[in-house]
């Protein structure tokens, strides 16, 4: 055998032909495509579920924000009442002190 001679293996038993190799590669690609389609479908389902969850959470958030706004309004009203009652109490205590001071002078 010549040193520079390249051995031709195309006629060896068990070696795939070019067509068989291309068919096998096409089959592998088709399996990959089918797997990617399954992954895409699963991703679509996941996205749909996440969108639904987001909608539910957004609705809950709006309800909680409305609830908090109502609590804030109630708190503001109660603080106004407390301040008014504190003012009345301060006036009452001042009048009592003035009366006691007036009684001590008499």
Q: Could you write out the DSSP letters of every residue in 10-61?
A: TTSTTPPPHHHHHHHHHHHHHHHHHHHHHHHHHHHHHHHHHHHHHHHHHHHH
- Span 81-102, mean pLDDT? 95
Is the pLDDT at 1 greater than 60, yes or no? no
Please, which residues have CB within 8 angstroms of residue 75's CB and are 6 or more apart in sequence? none
Quick one: pLDDT at residue 106? 65
Rounded-to-integer distance, Cα 91 and Cα 85, Å: 10
Who has greater pLDDT, 11 or 44? 44
Residues 21-64 have pLDDT tens digits of 999 999 999 999 999 999 999 999 999 999 999 999 999 999 99
Q: What pLDDT does residue 8 have? A: 67
- Residue 4 has phi, psi (to 5 degrees) of -100, 5
Q: Give the per-residue pLDDT at 27.
A: 97
pTM for the full predicted model: 0.56
pLDDT score for 26? 98
């Amino acid at each position: 055998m010549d040193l520079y001679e390249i051995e031709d293996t195309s006629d060896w038993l068990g070696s795939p032909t070019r067509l068989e190799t291309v068919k096998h590669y096409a089959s592998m690609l088709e399996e990959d495509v089918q797997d990617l389609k399954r992954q895409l479908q699963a991703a679509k389902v996941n996205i749909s579920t996440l969108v639904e969850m987001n909608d539910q959470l957004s609705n809950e958030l709006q309800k909680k924000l409305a609830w908090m706004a109502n609590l804030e309004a109630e708190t503001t009203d109660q603080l106004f009442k407390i301040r008014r009652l504190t003012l009345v109490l301060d006036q009452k205590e001042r009048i009592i002190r003035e009366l006691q001071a007036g009684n001590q002078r008499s």
